[in-house]
Amino acid sequence: MGESRSLTINGRSHSVSPEDPETPLLYVLRNEFGLHGPRFGCGLGQCGACTVHIDGQAVRSCVIPLSSLKPDAKIVTLEGLGTPEAPHPVQAAFVEEQAAQCGYCINGMIMTSAAFLKDKQKPSEAEIRQALAGNLCRCGTHARIVRAVQRAAASL
């Protein structure tokens, strides 16, 4: 095993010892911590399915080597964003709008939108579309996703 590193994930401190410090965060989250919210889509940072928050910013965990993380980085995954009992407004809005088909990309849609809405109050539809321009969905759920983000924005 490699050198031990500390990580703060969803508000809890953990220590990991990856064999390769260049292991992208995505695989650590999924395979070491069983956090399956972030998903593998391309490994290239192109699709957004792996999005997590680091210090409040939406980032693509498939291209973030563990070695690049600051020791005090605060990582939040979809699991840490909210729960059915205490949902994040974006999650509640996605359920309300039935904004998923296969749902594989939805982690990225929710995590990107949640970070976007933190900085942007009352966004226009065009601004929402632009904020999600780098997130790919193949089922064609875009219209519902935009409606869900509008609904969440109105509730914030």
Per-residue DSSP letter, 126: H
Alpha carbon distance 65, 90 (integer Å): 28
CB 71 within 8 A of CB 4: no
The CB density around residue 151, as the number of other CB atoms within 10 Å, is 18
Which is nearer to other proteins, 72 or 84 (by Cβ)? 84
Alpha carbon distance 106, 125 (integer Å): 18
Which is nearer to other proteins, 72 or 85 (by Cβ)? 85
AA letter at 87: P
Of 9, 16, 23, 115, the one binding other proteins (CB under 8 A) is: 23
Distance of CA 102 to the CA centre of its chain: 17
Q: What is the x/- site pattern for other proteins, positions 76-115, by CB under 8 A?
A: -xxx--xxx--x---x--xx--x-xxxxxxxx--x-----
Of 51, 59, 115, 141, the one binding other proteins (CB under 8 A) is: 141
Residue ranges binding other proteins (CB under 8 A): 18-20, 23-24, 27, 30-31, 34-37, 39-44, 46-47, 49, 77-79, 82-84, 87, 91, 94-95, 98, 100-107, 110, 126, 128-130, 132-146
